[in-house]
Amino acid sequence: MMTLGALASRLTPLLRLMDEEAAHALSLRALQAGLAGRQRTPDPPRLAVRAMGLSFPNPIGLAAGFDKDARAVLPLLRLGFGCVEAGTVTLRPQPGNPRPRLFRLPQHRAVINRLGFNNEGLDRYLARLKDAGPRPACFGANVGINKQGADPERDYPALVAAVTPYADYVTINVSSPNTPGLRDLQGEARLRGILRAIAREVPVRPPVVVKIAPDLSDDGLAAVVDAAGAEGAAGLIISNTTIARPPELGGLNALQVGGLSGAPLFARSTEMLRRARRIAGERLVLIGCGGIRTGADVLAKIQAGASLVQLYTEFAYAGPALVGRLKAELAEALDAGGFAVVGDAVGVSA
């Protein structure tokens, strides 16, 4: 008998016949209604990870962007993710950029978005977290600043303070290409100022990680690593979407403005992860994100230096059954590589 998750994944291709944002909204409603199924058996202990003082049943997380308003955190966790990150949430609601702003590139298993932090604001986000109930795995809150009227050294601490009672860790997003000036906050002085303000204003807080862009120069990456390590960040997410366009990228939507995610980002983000590991050593926990499609891809990120990984685009293409498949493939890849547990593979190719 087919499980709900497998059925949902079989139906996922039909969503690609719809407008991208309408399909995404329908997916969230189906999750809220419990139509995507749930994991029935616990993960094997060899997949468990200990990072940032937290325990993860497996290293595979859902990246921010899929559930911006924390509408389906519990149903998503029940699919078997080791962690789910919701957001990016801003202090005040904002509509984001004009539509259309989300574009599929199915031949490349990729997406281009220029959403612009569209979300319902912090108050509604917190209200949903209050009602979510006990969670079977870790939850990360991803926070960012509004397009207008923002003061990063004021707003990021306020956001961190607000989500602290509900989040196992907090991600500060300073790398979306769709909010003017946001990526400037990755500069060493600005990033240090934000992290110092968070430490000063929120002395008791969950681990804070910084999500960075794959388009940083080598010197820029080194500066971010140094700033994060010196100012109390627990880790880095490598990486957000890219504004670069690989030469092989083709199709009707390839020249759309926005951030590119999915399979074409895999090599670029993994090499950046490897460089960050060489610079940071074990000072920071690294979370690998960008282009994951298979269990072998998960292991490649881990071998490059990641303790945890995140995905989004392939989940949108493949549906809920992807989570179980990735974990089974990861176990097979660990066997093939001679690794007893996930932790044995972290950074071996860095």
Residues noted as catalytic:
176
**Intra-chain end-to-end CA distance of the chain, in Å:** 44
Query: Residues 340, 46: contact at Cβ < 8 Å?
Result: yes
Sheet holding 110-113, edge to edge: 102-105, 110-113, 259-262
Query: Residues 139, 81: contact at Cβ < 8 Å?
Result: no
Q: Which residues pair with 242 in a beta bridge?
A: 260
Query: Residues 67, 28: contact at Cβ < 8 Å?
Result: yes
3-state secondary structure 244-282: CCCCCCCCCCCCCCCEEEEHHHHHHHHHHHHHHHHHHCC
Nearest in space to 45 (alpha carbons), one of 54, 33, 58, 61: 58
Q: How far apart are CA 126 and CA 140, in angstroms?
A: 13
Neighbours of 189 (CB within 10 A): 10
Pairing of strands 102-105, 83-89: unpaired
Q: Which residues pair with 169 in a beta bridge?
A: 140
101: left (phi over 0), alpha (psi -120 to 50) or beta: alpha
Positive or negative, the CA dihedral 133, 134, 137, 139 is positive
Q: How far apart are CA 51 and CA 136, in angstroms?
A: 17
Alpha helices in 50-108 (DSSP H): 73-78
